Amino acid sequence: MESKHFDVVVVGAGISGIGAGYYLQTKSPTKSFCIIEGRESIGGTWDLFQYPGIRSDSDMFTLGYAFKPWTDRKSIADGPSILNYLKETVKENNLEKKIIFSHKVRSANWDSSKSEWVLEVTNNINEEIAYVTCNFLFTGTGYYNYDSGYTPEFQSLEKFQGQIIHPQKWPKDFNYADKKVIVIGSGATAATIVPEIAKKSKHVTMLQRSPTYYFPSLDEDRFANFLKKILPTKFSYSFIRLRNVLFQQLLYRICRRFPNFVKRKLIDHVKEMLPNHDIQKHFTPSYNPWEQRMCLIPNGDLFESLRENRATIVTDHIDEFTQNGIKLKSGIELNADIIVTATGLNLQQFGGIQLSIDDQQINPADTMTYKSMMFSGIPNFVNSFGYINASWTLKADLTCEFACRLINYMDKNNYKHCVPTIPSDVKAEDDWLATEFSSGYIHRAIHLFPKQGNRSPWINTQNYVKDFLGIKYGRIHDDSMHFAKR
C-alpha cells in the first residue's frame, strides 16, 4: 500500500464499515475514502466465526441495513446467509474498489498543525508499513478482539487428552461426528452450538456455571413473508423493520419495568418445553431479564435437543480438567473427546488502534462518550458501536448517517475540524454500559471504556427511538460540539 491522503478513512469491512462506505458514497459523494480491512475478506464477525450453527441472534429486518431489504424467508438467518447479504451490498454499491484488504491500522495520531490524522498501516502479508493521512477517521471494528476469545484460567487444562476449541477459532471442516462433546457456557454462542453439533455427535453436555434466560422464536416471520408477497419490497421491509424495532424496544422496557412478570413467563415456557428437567436449577437465573442479554432460541432447537436426550445440561462449577474430561466441584466427572470453551469475548476499543493527539497517547477511559459515537477531546473521529439490547445495525446506520451529516456540515461552513467538548454542567457519572448490564464480558473490560455523563448528548441511551430522533434530526452544532474554521 502506498502512502496516500483521503478525506475519510474507514477501518473495518464488517457490517459497520460496509455501511459507512455506502453512506459516504451516497450522502457525501464528493469525499474520497477507503476502507482498510485487516482480514483477507469482508464480513467481520460473519466471516471470522465459523462454528457450527452460527446465526443471527436478532431478526434480519433490524440486523439488516435500512437501505437494503432482507428478502430471504428466514428472519433468523445463518452466518453464511448474512455474509452473502454483506457481499451483495458491497457488489451492488461497487465498494470492492474502496476496500484495502490484509492491512491493519496500528495507530492513529492527530496532527493539530495540519488538522489531519496520520495512520500507521501494516501490510499483514509482507509487514511493510505505510502512512495514510485523512481529515476524518471512522472506525467500524466492532467491540471485541478478533485475535483471541476469552477463556478463564481453568486448573489443569493441560491434562486433558482430547481437543479444546474456542468458538472464535473453530477449525475449518472440524469433525465432531460420534464424539462426546462438552460445551462450557450457556450464552448465545453455547445455545447456538449445542443443538447443531447434537445432530451428529455422540452426545453433548452443556456445562454452565449459572442459568441464562432463553427467548423462544420462530426462524420465519410468517406475517412478514405474507406482506412481502403483496407489497413492494422496500415498503414491506420498512414496515416490518419499524414493527420489529418497536417490539424490541417494548420488550426491553417491559423486562426492565416488570422483571418478575417476564421472568415467570419465560420460565413457564421452559417448563412446558422441558417437563422432565430441573427448571429451578438449570433455567432460573439469579438476575432479572435483560440485566444480561437474553438468548434467542429459534424454533426451540436447544430445548428439542435436550428433550430428545441428544444433549444434557449440567449446572456446576469446574474443579479441574482431567485426562478424560472435567471434574466438577460436586465430585462428578464429565467425560469428553472434545471440549468447547464458549466462555465469551475479550472486549477491545477501536480494533486495537492506539489513538494519540500530537503524539500524546489517548486513554479512552479518560474521555466521555458523545452521542455514544464520538469522544470528548478527540477531533474528527467517529466510532460505530451498536446496541447491546437490540440489533447492532440499528445504531450503525444512525452513526454512519450522522458522520456524513457532520462532514457535510463542516464543508458547508468551511470548518476544518470538530471536537466534542464537555460543558461545565456535565459530569461523568456512569460507566458506558455497566449501569445497564451485568454480563461478565462487559464488566471484565468496562474500565477501559469511556464514561457517560448526566445529560444528553453525553448519555449512552441504548434506546433506538431516542437516538433516532436525537441523532438523525438533532442539531449538529450544539453546546457540546466545537468547530474550528479553515
Q: 434-445 pLDDT, tens per residue?
A: 556 767 777 788
Residues 412 and 475 in one domain: yes
Spell out where 306-425 has E strands. Answer: 311-315, 318-321, 325-328, 333-335, 338-341, 354-357, 360-361, 369-370, 374-375, 381-383, 415-420
Residues 75 and 114 in one domain: yes
Residues 429 and 323 in one domain: no
Q: Mean pLDDT in the chain?
A: 96
Q: pLDDT at position 105, please?
A: 98
Residues 183 and 315 in one domain: yes
| Residue 21 domain flag | yes
**pLDDT beyond 60 at 218:** yes
Q: How does DSSP assign 27-96, residue by residue?
A: HSTT--EEEE-SSSSS-THHHH---TT-B-SS-HHHHS-TTS---SSBSS-BHHHHHHHHHHHHHHTT-G
CA distance 113 to 195: 57
| Residue 443 domain flag | yes
Residue 401, classed as helix, strand or coil, is helix
Q: Give 242-253 pLDDT, tens digit per residue.
A: 999 999 999 999
Q: pLDDT at position 444, please?
A: 83
Domain count, the chain: 2
Residues 430 and 400 in one domain: yes
CA distance 222 to 240: 11
| Residue 415 domain flag | yes
Residues 140 and 244 in one domain: no
CA distance 343 to 280: 22
Find the mean pLDDT for residues 465-485. Answer: 95
Q: Give 303-329 pLDDT, tens digit per residue.
A: 999 999 999 999 999 999 999 999 999
429 half-sphere exposure, CB direction, 13 A CA radius: 11
| Residue 286 domain flag | yes
Find the mean pLDDT for residues 55-70. Answer: 97
| Residue 143 domain flag | yes
Last residue of a domain, one of 313, 341, 369: 341
| Residue 203 domain flag | yes
Find the mean pLDDT for residues 358-377. Answer: 97
Cβ contacts of 6 within 8 Å, gap of 6 or more: 32, 33, 34, 132, 133, 134, 135
CA distance 270 to 316: 20
Residues 384 and 427 in one domain: yes
Q: Which three cell numbers stand for residue 186?
A: 450457556
**C-beta neighbour count of 242 within 10 angstroms:** 12
**pLDDT beyond 80 at 115:** yes
Cβ contacts of 154 within 8 Å, gap of 6 or more: 318, 320, 321
Residue with cell string 490484509: 102
**pLDDT beyond 70 at 130:** yes
Residue 111, classed as helix, strand or coil, is strand
CA distance 248 to 59: 10
Q: Give 453-465 pLDDT, tens digit per residue.
A: 999 999 998 899 9
Find the mean pLDDT for residues 51-62. Answer: 97
Q: Give 155-207 pLDDT, tens digit per residue.
A: 999 999 999 999 999 999 999 999 999 999 999 999 999 999 999 999 999 99
**pLDDT beyond 80 at 356:** yes
**pLDDT beyond 60 at 452:** yes
CATH number at residue 400: 3.50.50.60
Q: What is the 3-state secondary structure (H, E, C) of 247-300?
A: HHHHHHHHHHHCHHHHHHHHHHHHHHHCCCCCHHHHCCCCCCCCCCCCEEEECC
- The burial of 424, by beta-carbon neighbours within 10 Å (0-12 exposed, 13-18 middle, 19 or more buried), is given as exposed
Residues 191 and 311 in one domain: yes
Last residue of a domain, one of 341, 359, 393: 341
Cβ contacts of 289 within 8 Å, gap of 6 or more: 213, 255, 259, 262, 263, 266
Find the mean pLDDT for residues 96-105. Answer: 98
Q: Which three cell numbers stand for residue 73?
A: 424467508
Find the mean pLDDT for residues 122-140. Answer: 98
Q: pLDDT at position 443, please?
A: 78
Residues 296 and 381 in one domain: no
Last residue of a domain, one of 319, 341, 363: 341
| Residue 152 domain flag | no
Prior bond of 457 cis (ω within 30°): yes
Q: pLDDT at position 1, please?
A: 75
Cβ contacts of 52 within 8 Å, gap of 6 or more: 170, 176, 193, 196, 197
Q: pLDDT at position 389, please?
A: 87
Q: What is the DSSP letter of 171?
A: P
Q: pLDDT at position 447, please?
A: 85
Range of the domain at 360: 5-147+346-485
* % of the chain surpassing 70 pLDDT: 99
| Residue 314 domain flag | yes
Q: pLDDT at position 441, please?
A: 76
| Nearest CA-CA partner of 342 in 469, 170, 222 | 170
Residues 359 and 274 in one domain: no
Q: Which band of pLDDT confidence, cut at 50, 70 and 90, is reported for residue 448?
A: confident
Kindly state the helix (H) or strand (E) to which residue 239 belongs, with its residue range.
helix 233-257
Residues 236 and 258 in one domain: yes
Residues 336 and 365 in one domain: no
Find the mean pLDDT for residues 232-243. Answer: 97
